[in-house]
Structure 1
C-alpha cells in the first residue's frame, strides 16, 4: 500500500518512507455521493505529488484507495495520521 505526498506534507523529502493511516471521511463535490467503505488503510509515502497537478494532500495508489472508498469516486475527503 503506497501513496504520494502533496506539498503540504512532503517536507523536502522528509515524508518519503513515512507511514500514514488514512481514513475516508466523505465525498467531494464530484463523483460518488457516499464513497466511504469504512475502516482505514496504512500506506507508505514513496513519491511526491507536486502542485499544481496534485489536487490533494495524499495521492493514494489505486489498491489503497479501493480499500477505503469506491474507486469510482476518484477523489475523497480524508483524515490522516502519521
Structure 2
C-alpha cells in the first residue's frame, strides 16, 4: 500500500513539472504605436507590454486579458540570423490579429524589442500563459 502511495505521489509531481514546462510554439511579429482602439477593451490604455492574438489563440475573445510569457527561439529572416536577446517578456492580450496575420502573436514594438531585434520583423517563439 505504501509503495502505491509513493508511486502515485511521484507521478503527480512529474505531471505538475510537465505542465509547468509546457510551451506553445509559434511566431511573433510586431506592430507600432500609436496603439488605438483594441478589440478587447476598446480605447482603454493597456500600456505597451501588449499583444494581439491570431486565430490560433484568440478564441473569439477568450484570450482577452490573458498574460503570456514569450521567448524568442530563432530566426525566420535570413537577413538577421541571430535576432534573439535571450530574454522573455510578459504581455497581455488586448487585441485581435485578423486572418492574414503574419504571426501567432503580434507583439507591441516595445515587447518585441525585449525578446528580439526589431530588424528581424518575425521570429520563432515559445509562449505560455
Q: TM-score, normalised by structure 2?
A: 0.61
In structure 2, runs of 5+ residues without a counterpart are: 1-48
Give me the CA root mean square deviation.
0.9
Cross-structure match for 1:51: 99
In structure 1, runs of 5+ residues without a counterpart are: none
Structure ranking higher in strand proportion: 1
How many residues are treated as equivalent by the alignment? 81
Contact 2:77–2:122 (Cα < 8 Å) also in 1: no
Structure with the larger RCO, 1 or 2 (CA within 8 Å, 6+ apart)? 1
Deviation for aligned residue 1:30:
4.3
Contact 1:31–1:75 (Cα < 8 Å) also in 2: no
Greater Cα radius of gyration, structure 1 or 2: 2
Cross-structure match for 1:20: 68
Structure ranking higher in helix proportion: 2
Question: Which stretches of structure 1, 4 residues or more, deviate above 4 A after TM superposition?
Answer: none
Match of 1:64 among 102, 111, 117: 111
> For the residues of structure 1 that align with 2:52 and 2:68, how far apart are their CA atoms?
11
Instruction: Say whether 1:10 aligns with 2:10.
Output: no
> For the residues of structure 1 that align with 2:106 and 2:50, how far apart are their CA atoms?
9
Contact 1:31–1:74 (Cα < 8 Å) also in 2: no
> For the residues of structure 2 that align with 1:70 and 1:56, how far apart are their CA atoms?
16
